[in-house]
Amino acid sequence: MIHCLGLDWRLWRDVIPELSEQYRLIAYDLHGHGYASNSPKIESIQQLVDDLVRLMDELNLKSARIAGHSLGGRVAQQMALRHPERVTSLALVCTMARTARQAMQSRADEAERQGMTSQVAPSLLRWLTPEVVAENPWYVRYARARVIRSLAPNWAAAWRALAQFDVLEELQAISVPTNVIAAEKDLTASPEEYMRPIADRIPGAKLSLIPGAPHLAPLVKPHEVATLLAH
């Protein structure tokens, strides 16, 4: 279970209990995030794929079902393309295969110039709806805290790695069962613009839509996400 940019494994906190009786679940912190925040800056998504391969080797896992959200979904796609023998199925949640480069670069530049407090409001309003942010449940407080505590160099490096990412025309090489999971109110990876092209290119992929869910669907709609991951 691979989390998004800026957060950590707790993105999946409320999804995990619904799946733990059926599966062995491994949720970890990406390079530059959470407990791995002191690791060197990344330069590409491939570095995160290499980390995943090493993690699976350490755990003696020859293969696994891979679920990735947003940045984690990019890692999952590249993992399936570069190491197909290690992946038995994919769940790609609120993610992209081709990135809006200028927007990614701008977020990196702004964090370096203005600091992480400048990233809090725009991030929360991309990831969630204004109504949810106003209600301020635990996951809004959690996301806010993770952004504020992020190290600007790590944050900027991750956005620049995303800016380079483009595997859209390679996706037809993925042959494992794939569920492309979109969120109806996602302002970051809109279902029609970004998610449907992924499902259209991966042979046999299924496109699922979670009604009313924003970008951080695993936090806001954990039951719906868990149900889709289970199947």
pLDDT in tens, 164-202: 999 999 999 999 999 999 999 999 988 889 999 999 999
Q: What's the predicted TM-score (pTM) here? A: 0.96
**CA 110 – CA 90 distance, rounded (Å):** 33
Q: Return the domain boundaries, the chain.
A: 9-99+166-230
Q: Tokens 């990876």 belong to which residue?
A: 189
Average pLDDT over residues 57-66: 98
Which has more pLDDT, 71 or 34?
71
25-29, 47-51, 192-196 — which is least confidently predicted?
A: 192-196
Q: Which fold has domain 9-99+166-230?
A: Rossmann fold (3.40.50)
Within the chain, where are the H helices? 16-19, 45-58, 71-82, 101-114, 117-127, 130-135, 138-149, 152-163, 196-201, 217-220, 222-230
